[in-house]
Amino acid sequence: MHTITTALLAIGPPGIPVLHPQSHYAHSIFELSSWVLWVCLGIFLLVAGLVSYAGWKFRARPGDADPRQVFGSRKWEAAYVIGPTLLLAVIFGFTLHVMHTSDPPAQASGDDIVVVGHQWWWEVRYPKLGFVTANEIHIPAGKNVQFGFESMDVIHDFWVPELGRKIDMIPGRHAKIWLAADHPGTYLGACAEFCGKEHAWMRIRVIADTPATFAAWSSAESRAVTPPATTSEQRGLHYVTSMPCASCHTIVGTSARGIIGPNLTHLASRETLAAGRLQNTPQQLSAWLHNPDAFKPGSHMPNLHLTDDQRNDIVQYLETLK
């Protein structure tokens, strides 16, 4: 039955499949959803069927006189008070159970990952591993991961449906939930609470790695970046640290320590740019620097009106940040 649910809701390839659970948290929500949707379909067919049948069977024909006047029936009314109440009680009981299995209590301390919402990107901290990244979240597959959530400005909402519930990120609060991915892979999500101009381009990628890949990735993230080798790269570093870039972005090991925009320390290791807006290729990176508004109008990334040479040097340098 659950397979049919998935099939029915996902005829053709789905974008970000909500009913395609990839963790035990998401799976318990999926089971509940599947049952509730079938019950809803049943009630819908009952109501639509009754309305259609009554409309056809009891339609007036020319010359018909008024029918016998019926004012009600306590028996029937009792039936459709008690019937739906019992049905809702069952659904409610199931709801209570799944609330617990899909959203078990978090530990007071010890978030594995803290995601901080910004207009319009995600800061991703790994407090236990000691580094900070942005927009792409790596987790080890097959492990329950405790996430903490904060916001630096307005309310955002973190939602990766295949992995579990969504949760609001509210300024002044610290929320916690458990998420997991059973298998390695890339899971898409998005900010689900309207947060201003570029809410649409505040997308999430969670990358679940095998234990070995995750260990390799996290040790790479913890490593200092290698200093630029070529003169072009060196000029690029110079521009990044001397121009306004450094007032917003951090690159660990350089004088760039801004905290307004995404941490760029290992930018070149990421798959996308600008919270999922562009693929992370040298061409796209260059285009982004040339005119951010062409891709993400309203974002806080300014157009610095770089010369082509400056832009080329900066891209050369940023590409070294593996």
Partner 1 sequence: MSTSEIPIVPSEIDKLQRFQEHAGMLKWLASVDHKQIAVMYMLTSLFFFLVGGIEALLMRWQLARPENRFMGPETYNQLFTLHGTTMIFLVAVPALLAFGNYFIPLQIGARDIAFPRLNAMSYWLFVFGGVLLYGSILAGNAPDMGWFSYAPLSEKPYSSLGGVDYWALGLLVIGIGTVATAINFLVTIATLRAPGMSFKRLPLFTWMSAVNSFLIIIAFPALNSALFMLLIDRNLHGRFFTPDGGGSPILWQHIFWNFGHPEVYIMILPAFGIISEVIPVFSRQPIFGYEFVAGSTVAIGLLSFAVWAHHMFATGMGHDVDVFFAAGSALIAVPTGIKIFNWIATMWGGKIRFTTAMQFASAFLIEFTIGGLSGVIFAVVPMDWQLTDTYVIVAHIHYVLFGGTLFGLFAGTYYWFPKITGRLLNERLGKWHFWLTVVGFNATFFVQHLLGFRGMTRRVWTYPDLPGWGLLNMISTVGAFILGGSMLILLWNIYRSRTHGERAGDNPWQAWTLEWATTSPPPPYNFAEVPPVHSRRPLWDLHHPDDADWMREDQP
Residues 121-160 touching partner 1, rule: CB under 8 A, are: 153-155, 157, 159
Q: How far apart, in whole angstroms, are the C-alpha atoms of residue 100 and residue 33?
A: 15
SS3 281: coil
Residue 234-253 contact track with partner 1, rule CB under 8 A, x = bound: --------------------
Query: Using CB under 8 A, which residues numbered 37 to 66 contact partner 1?
Result: 37, 40, 43-44, 47-48, 50-51, 54-55, 58-61, 64-66
Q: Tell me how far, at minimum, the Cβ of 8 lies from partner 1, in Å.
A: 10
User: Interface with partner 1 by CB under 8 A: which range of 75-83, 110-118, 217-225, 247-255?
Assistant: 75-83
Confirm if 117 and 169 have CB atoms less than 8 A apart. Answer: yes
Asked whether position 287 contacts partner 1 by CB under 8 A, the answer is no
Asked whether position 188 contacts partner 1 by CB under 8 A, the answer is yes
Provide the b/e sequence for 285-316 (b: ≥16 CB within 10 Å).
Answer: bbbbbeebeebbeebebeeeebeeebbbbbbb
Asked whether position 27 contacts partner 1 by CB under 8 A, the answer is no
Residue whose structure tokens are 């799976």: 27
- Site for partner 1 (CB under 8 A): how many residues? 91
Q: How far apart, in whole angstroms, are the C-alpha atoms of residue 284 and residue 315?
A: 10
Asked whether position 116 contacts partner 1 by CB under 8 A, the answer is no
For partner 1, which residue of 297, 303, 309, 322 counts as binding (CB under 8 A)? 297
CA distances from 280 to 176, 205, 221, 319 (A): 30, 13, 17, 10
Q: Tell me how far, at minimum, the Cβ of 59 lies from partner 1, in Å.
A: 5
Asked whether position 13 contacts partner 1 by CB under 8 A, the answer is yes
Confirm if 160 and 203 have CB atoms less than 8 A apart. Answer: no
